[in-house]
Structure 1
Amino acid sequence: MGHHIQGVIARSSVVARIAQDFPGAEVVPLEQALLWVPTPEWLLDAIDETTRGDALRTPITGEHVYLHFVARYLEQITSRDVAMYFETDYFGGLGAQSAAVYRDGVLVLDAGRASRPGPINAGLALLGVLADAGRDAFDTVGLQHHRRMPHDR
């Protein structure tokens, strides 16, 4: 079975800003007071339009699928907060994941595409997630229940 999701995970203050900037954005509650804003194509296009021409303060290194305009937007909305952009793309046990965490407008985790588990769990830890005994942070917040983007259902 496949797993393909992407979006921004943050606490309510950041998500409120996203909802204000993009009124059609869907918000999915997760455990430990986190919220996930899936980023379907229309939202990525809207973010691109909003940030077009803005300079990226922190260069992105490594191999990433997410686009520089997402990075510019996260720099802007985390000036006094923290948020993570993440992606998963697995099918039949093969695939990769990536995560980037911005705190106070600065890139603090740049975990490019990795075939082994880790980048998303590392990012969730920076968001303050405490993994339950015997579970990783990904499962603790409930992301294992979301195998596809909401609009793909």
Structure 2
Amino acid sequence: MGYTLEAVIAGDALLGAAARELPGATVVPLAQGLALLPMTEGRYPGGSAAEPADGLGFWSLPAGFAAVLARWSAAGPVAYGEADYFGGTGEQRAAVWAAGALVWGPSHTPEGRPSSPAGSPLSQALRRLGATAGGAVDEFAAVGLDRHRSTERWARAGGG
């Protein structure tokens, strides 16, 4: 069974307000006061074309969208993350913007390599947004990112 995710994650109020500038945007509540904006193909500026010139290495971040994330982060920290797994192998990449600038990452765990001792890129990014693992295995599970297995399912969960 696979898992794919391309999403913006931030505080629910911040992300709800920011997403209003994107026609048809879907914001899905997560645990711990966070929310997720699934970046489904073709729904946001630049579609799913990656930003090869930005040096961040994301495969689905729409062209120019890093600047949007930086602008949104003036209101609080904002993360962008991607994950692609099948049969237990895959990769993750995540970054966090705050106060208008990239402040962490991108962190990347390539296919075939274990996550760092600090956790997976998505868990580390979530920690920078204030998430805690609590009784869960990690921040990823604690906020509920394991609830759906694809970006499209997240979009449908939010009514998008």
TM-score, length of structure 2 as denominator length:
0.78
Is the CA contact 2:12–2:29 (under 8 Å) kept in the aligned structure 1? Answer: no
Q: Distance in 2 between matches of 1:14 and 1:68?
A: 22
Q: Distance in 1 between matches of 2:94 and 2:146?
A: 16
Q: Report how far residue 75 of structure 1 moved.
A: 0.9
Tell me the equivalent position of 1:71: 66
Which residue type is aligned with residue 139 of structure 1? A
Tell me the equivalent position of 1:102: 97
Is the CA contact 2:81–2:122 (under 8 Å) kept in the aligned structure 1? Answer: yes
Summarize the Cα distance change of 1:64–1:150 in structure 2 as closer, same or farther, 3 Å threshold: closer
Tell me the equivalent position of 2:151: 149
Tell me the equivalent position of 2:17: 17
Mapped pair 1:139 → 2:141? yes
Q: Distance in 2 between matches of 1:132 and 1:37?
A: 24
Summarize the Cα distance change of 1:137–1:72 in structure 2 as closer, same or farther, 3 Å threshold: same
Mapped pair 1:85 → 2:87? no
Tell me the equivalent position of 2:29: 29
Alpha-carbon deviations, 1:26-69, whole Å to 9, x = none?
Answer: 1111110100010112233x2x49xxxxxxxxx95453323452
Is the CA contact 2:6–2:83 (under 8 Å) kept in the aligned structure 1? Answer: yes
Q: How many residues align?
A: 142
Measured on the aligned residues, the alpha-carbon RMSD in Å equals 2.3
* Structure 1 outlier segments of 4+, above 6 Å: none
Runs of 5+ unmatched residues, structure 1 = 50-58
TM-score, length of structure 1 as denominator length:
0.81
Which residue type is aligned with residue 41 of structure 2? E
Q: Report how far residue 23 of structure 1 moved.
A: 3.5
Q: Report how far residue 12 of structure 1 moved.
A: 2.5
Q: Distance in 2 between matches of 1:21 and 1:134?
A: 34
Summarize the Cα distance change of 1:113–1:67 in structure 2 as closer, same or farther, 3 Å threshold: farther
